[in-house]
C-alpha cells in the first residue's frame, strides 16, 4: 500500500468503522444469513421444485408451442369446476419447468394447479416448493402485510452494504493479504483470513447483489415519489412506469376472443422471443384484458415487454416501451433475478450467494472467538445469544431446510393442507434447533451435533427421493433429468461435507482452551 | 472458438492472471519460490504485465462469446471464482511446503 492511501485511510477512520461493522454483523448476521441462503436456493428454484414435485418431472418439453385455446383454456375450465372465473394466468412450460402452472381467481376463492403442455391436469403437488416458499422467504420473509417483510429485508440489505464498505476500509492490508488463507495455526486467524477472502475476492458480486436487491424494492421502501404523484397508489405507479394496463369489470358478459392469434401478434411486436406468462383479467366480461409477457431467457433486463389486448375484440390496447429510468431499473433488477438462461452464470450466482453466507458466518464466528479471549472461558449472556444465533442461522437453518425437503418426500399425498404442514415443520424445526443451540451452548455451540444432523438429513433426502419416486441417479442420467440429479448431487455433497466437519469437530473437544489461556496471559 | 472451450479458456486465463498476481506478492513468493528474498522488481513487472494481458484476453473471450452484457457479467464473476481458486492453490501449496520444512 502506498503512503498516499495510508494517509487517506487513517487508523482513526478504521477504528470508527469497526464498531458499526461489528454491531451490524452481530445483530443482523442471522437475518442476513437467512436472506443470502434462501437467495442462493432461489437461483435453482425451478430445479428444487422438480425435486419436491415429482409429478411435474415429465421429461423435456416438446418443441411444439403450447396452444392456449386448445390446451390451456380446457385446463382452466377443469380447474374452475363450474365456478365463475374472474381472473386467471398461466405460466407456459419452458426448459426448466416442463409443465404449465395455472392460477385462478374465482368468485368463491383461488385455485391453482399444474398441467402438462397438452392440457392434462396433474394431481395437486401438495407443496409450496422453492418458488413459493424458499424464494419469498428471501425477499419478504413471508410477512406481506404492509410490506413489513420487504422493509426488514431492505434494512438488513442496507446494513450489509454498510458492512461491505466499512469492511473494505477496516481491512488494513487488502493487497498484501489478497490471496492469503492460513488454514493452519490459530482458528481465529484462519477465520479472519476466510472472512477477508470471501469479502474481498467476491466483493464485486456482493456489492452488485446487495445494491440491486435494494433497487428492486425502492418504490416500496422510498414511497415519497409514489406518495406525491400517485397518492400512494403503487398499482397506478406501476401501470405508468412498467406500461401496465388495468380497467374495472363492466358487468356485461362477453366471450373471450381466441388467444393464439394474440400470442402471434405479441411475437410480431417483440420481433422474436417467446411468450412466458399469459394473464386474462375480467374473464368473460366485456371489459376483459389479456396480457402477454415475454420470456426473459435471452437478456439480462427484467423487461417482460407486456402486450395488452382487448379480450373481446383481440385488438392491442397497450404496448409501451419503458423510458430510460425504468429500463435501467429493469436491467438492475434483472442482474439480481438472474432469470436468464445461462448455466455458468447461474452456478456462479449460487456459489457466490453461498460465499456470502461464508462471509457472514465467519464474521460471527470471528467475533465469538475474539470475545472468548476478552471474557475468558466463562462466556456471558451476550456471547451466548450471539453463539445461539450463529448456530441457529447456519446449521439450524440447514437442518430446517433439509427437514422440510425430507418431510416433502415422507408426508402422504392425501393429508389436508399438506403444503402448510411442510411449512409448519420448517419453522418448528428451525426454532427447535435454535433453542437446542441456545440451551446447549457452554464453551461452544453444539456444532458437531447439528452438523451430524445436517449430514443425516441430507443423506436421508437423497435416499427418500430414490425410494419414494424410484428416480435413482442412474435412471436420472438415463432420462437426462439434470434438475433432480443436480439437487441430489448437491444434497449428497452437503451430507459428505457436513459429516466430515462433524467428525473433525467431535475429535476437537474444548477447542481453543490451550491457546486461549496463552492469549489471556498476554492481555 | 468452439463452445466447449469457451468456459475452460475463460476460467483458465483468469486463473493464470491471478496466479501471476499472487506470485508478485512478496509473502507468497517467499513461501513458494524463494524463501530468502522477495521477487525482483523486473519479475514483478513482468508478472503484472502477463496478468493484465490474460485478463484482457479473458474479457475478449467472454464478450465475443456471450455478447457485451452477459460477457461482462460472466467476466466479472469469473474473476472472483479464479481469485478464490488461486487463493486455495496458494494455501494448499504453502501448507505442503511448510509440512516439508518442519
pLDDT per 10-residue tile (average), chain A, 523 residues: 60 89 94 97 95 85 75 91 91 89 90 87 90 95 91 96 94 88 89 95 97 92 88 84 89 93 94 92 93 92 93 93 91 94 95 97 93 76 89 95 96 90 96 93 88 97 93 84 92 96 82 46 33
Q: Which residue of A has its CA nearest to B73?
A: A345
Q: What is the pLDDT of residue A61?
A: 58
Contacts of A179 in chain B (CB under 8 A): 18, 21-22, 25, 28, 83, 86-87, 90
CB contact under 8 A, B81 and A348: yes
* Cα torsion A436, A439, A445, A447: sign: negative
Q: What is the pLDDT of residue A48?
A: 96
User: In which domain, by residue range, is B7 found?
Assistant: 3-101
- C-alpha A50, offset from chain centre: 16
Q: What is the pLDDT of residue A377?
A: 65
Contacts of B78 in chain A (CB under 8 A): 348
Q: Which of residues 20-49 of B touch A (CB under 8 A)?
A: 21-22, 25-28
Give the pLDDT mean for B17-36. 92
Query: Of B26, B81, B87, which is closest to A181 when you measure between CB atoms?
Result: B87
H helix runs in B1-102, sequence order: 3-23, 26-32, 41-101
Query: In whole angstroms, how far apart are CA A123 and each of A53, A79, A119, A235?
Result: 10, 11, 13, 34
CA-to-CA distance for B13 and B71, rounded, in angstroms? 14
CB contact under 8 A, A179 and B90: yes
Q: What is the pLDDT of residue A7?
A: 62
Q: What is the pLDDT of residue A144?
A: 87
Give strand pairing partners of A253: A285
Query: In whole angstroms, how far apart are CA A148 and each of A78, A131, A491?
Result: 37, 20, 33
For residue A280, give the nearest of A260, A309, A300, A254 by alpha carbon.
A309
Query: Of B77, B88, B90, which is closest to A205 when you measure between CB atoms?
Result: B77
Q: What is the pLDDT of residue A519?
A: 44
Contacts of A205 in chain B (CB under 8 A): 76-77, 80
Pairing of strands A85-91, A100-106: antiparallel
CA-to-CA distance for A489 and A177, rounded, in angstroms? 34
Span between the terminal Cα atoms of chain B, in Å: 47
Q: What is the pLDDT of residue A521?
A: 36
Contacts of A341 in chain B (CB under 8 A): none
Burial of A197 (0-12, 13-18, 19+ CB in 10 A): buried
Strands of the sheet with A109-115, listed across from one edge: A109-115, A100-106, A85-91, A275-281, A289-294, A307-310, A316-318
Give strand pairing partners of A277: A91, A293
- C-alpha B82, offset from chain centre: 6
Q: What residues have CB less than 8 Å from A364, skipping those under 6 apart? A: A25, A26, A29, A386, A389, A390
CB contact under 8 A, A355 and B84: yes
SS (HEC) of A379-422: CCHHHHHHHHHHHHHCHHHHHHHHHHHHHHHHCCCCCCCHHHHH
Query: Could you report the per-residue pLDDT of B72-94, keeping only the tens digit for each?
Result: 999 999 999 999 999 999 999 99
CA-to-CA distance for A330 and A490, rounded, in angstroms? 31
The pLDDT of residue B102 is above 70? no
CB contact under 8 A, A201 and B77: no
Q: What is the pLDDT of residue A60?
A: 65
Contacts of A183 in chain B (CB under 8 A): 91, 95
Report the run of H or E that residue A309 belongs to, with start and end: strand A307-310
**What distance in Å separates residue B60's CA from the closest CA in chain A?**
17
Instruction: Count how many domains chain B has.
Output: 1
Q: Which residue of B has its CA nearest to A331?
A: B69
- The tally of CA atoms less than 13 A away on the side-chain side of residue A40 is 21
Q: What is the pLDDT of residue A166?
A: 95
Q: What residues have CB less than 8 Å from A429, skipping those under 6 apart? A: A399, A400, A403, A404
**What distance in Å separates residue B88's CA from the closest CA in chain A?**
8
SS3 A471: coil
Contacts of B11 in chain A (CB under 8 A): none
Widest distance between CA atoms in chain B: 51
Query: Of B18, B77, B95, which is closest to A352 when you measure between CB atoms?
Result: B77
Contacts of B84 in chain A (CB under 8 A): 197, 201-202, 355
CB contact under 8 A, A348 and B78: yes
Q: What residues have CB less than 8 Å from A500, skipping those under 6 apart? A: none
CB contact under 8 A, A201 and B83: yes
Amino acid at each position: 500500500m502506498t503512503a498516499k492511501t495510508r494517509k487517506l485511510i487513517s487508523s482513526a477512520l478504521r477504528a470508527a468503522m469497526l464498531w458499526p461493522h461489528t454491531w451490524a454483523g452481530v445483530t443482523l448476521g442471522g437475518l442476513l444469513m437467512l436472506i443470502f441462503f434462501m437467495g442462493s436456493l432461489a437461483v435453482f428454484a425451478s430445479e428444487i421444485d422438480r425435486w419436491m414435485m415429482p409429478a411435474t418431472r415429465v421429461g423435456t418439453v416438446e418443441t411444439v408451442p403450447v396452444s392456449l385455446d386448445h390446451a390451456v383454456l380446457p385446463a382452466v375450465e377443469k380447474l374452475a369446476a363450474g365456478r365463475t372465473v374472474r381472473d386467471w394466468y398461466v405460466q407456459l412450460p419452458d426448459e426448466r419447468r416442463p409443465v404449465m402452472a395455472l392460477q385462478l381467481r374465482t368468485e368463491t376463492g383461488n385455485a391453482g394447479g399444474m398441467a402438462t403442455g397438452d392440457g392434462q391436469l396433474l394431481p395437486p403437488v401438495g407443496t409450496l416448493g422453492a418458488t413459493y416458499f424458499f424464494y419469498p422467504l428471501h425477499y419478504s420473509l413471508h410477512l406481506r402485510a404492509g410490506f413489513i417483510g420487504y422493509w426488514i429485508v431492505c434494512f438488513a440489505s442496507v446494513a450489509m452494504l454498510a458492512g461491505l464498505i466499512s469492511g473494505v476500509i477496516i481491512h488494513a492490508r487488502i493487497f498484501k493479504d489478497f490471496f492469503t488463507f492460513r488454514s493452519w495455526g490459530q482458528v481465529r486467524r484462519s477465520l479472519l483470513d476466510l472472512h477477508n477472502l470471501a469479502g474481498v475476492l467476491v466483493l464485486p458480486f456482493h456489492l452488485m447483489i446487495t445494491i440491486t436487491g435494494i433497487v428492486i424494492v425502492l418504490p416500496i421502501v422510498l414511497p415519497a415519489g409514489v406518495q406525491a404523484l400517485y397518492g400512494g397508489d403503487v398499482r397506478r405507479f406501476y401501470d405508468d412506469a412498467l406500461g401496465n394496463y388495468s380497467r374495472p369489470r363492466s358487468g356485461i358478459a362477453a366471450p373471450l376472443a381466441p388467444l393464439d392469434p394474440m400470442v402471434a401478434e405479441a411475437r410480431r411486436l417483440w420481433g422474436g422471443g417467446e411468450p412466458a406468462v399469459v394473464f386474462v383479467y375480467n374473464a368473460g366480461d366485456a371489459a376483459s384484458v389479456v396480457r402477454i409477457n415475454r420470456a426473459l431467457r435471452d437478456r439480462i433486463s427484467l423487461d417482460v415487454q407486456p402486450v395488452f389486448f382487448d379480450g373481446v375484440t383481440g385488438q392491442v390496447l397497450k404496448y409501451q416501451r419503458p423510458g430510460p429510468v425504468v429500463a435501467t431499473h429493469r436491467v438492475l433488477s434483472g442482474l439480481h433475478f438472474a432469470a436468464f438462461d445461462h448455466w455458468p452464470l447461474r452456478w456462479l450466482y449460487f456459489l457466490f450467494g453461498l460465499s456470502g453466507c461464508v462471509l457472514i458466518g465467519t464474521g460471527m464466528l470471528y467475533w465469538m472467538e475474539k470475545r472468548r479471549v476478552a471474557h475468558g472461558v466463562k462466556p456471558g449472556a451476550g456471547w451466548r445469544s450471539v453463539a445461539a444465533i450463529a448456530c441457529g442461522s447456519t446449521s439450524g437453518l440447514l437442518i430446517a431446510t433439509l427437514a422440510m425437503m425430507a418431510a416433502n418426500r415422507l408426508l402422504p399425498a392425501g393429508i389436508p393442507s399438506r403444503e402448510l404442514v411442510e411449512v409448519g415443520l420448517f419453522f418448528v424445526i428451525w426454532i427447535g434447533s435454535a433453542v437446542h443451540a441456545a440451551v446447549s451452548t457452554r464453551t461452544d455451540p453444539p456444532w458437531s451435533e447439528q452438523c451430524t444432523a445436517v449430514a443425516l438429513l441430507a443423506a436421508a433426502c437423497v435416499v427418500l427421493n430414490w425410494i419414494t419416486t424410484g428416480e435413482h441417479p442412474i435412471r436420472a442420467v438415463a432420462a437426462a433429468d439434470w434438475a433432480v440429479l443436480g439437487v441430489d448431487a448437491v444434497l449428497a455433497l452437503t451430507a459428505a461435507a457436513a459429516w466430515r466437519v462433524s467428525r473433525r469437530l467431535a475429535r476437537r473437544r474444548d477447542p481453543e482452551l490451550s491457546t486461549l489461556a496463552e492469549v489471556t496471559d498476554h492481555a | 472458438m468452439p463452445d466447449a472451450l469457451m468456459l475452460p479458456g475463460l476460467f483458465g486465463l483468469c486463473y493464470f492472471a491471478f496466479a501471476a498476481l499472487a506470485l508478485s506478492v512478496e509473502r507468497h513468493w517467499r513461501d513458494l519460490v524463494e524463501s530468502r528474498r522477495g521477487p525482483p522488481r523486473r519479475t514483478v513487472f513482468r508478472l503484472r504485465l502477463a496478468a493484465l494481458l490474460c485478463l484482457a484476453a479473458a474479457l475478449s473471450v467472454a464478450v465475443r462469446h456471450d455478447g457485451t452484457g452477459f460477457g461482462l457479467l460472466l467476466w466479472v464473476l469469473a474473476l472472483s471464482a479464479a481469485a478464490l481458486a488461486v487463493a486455495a492453490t496458494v494455501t494448499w501449496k504453502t501448507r505442503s511446503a511448510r509440512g516439508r520444512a518442519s
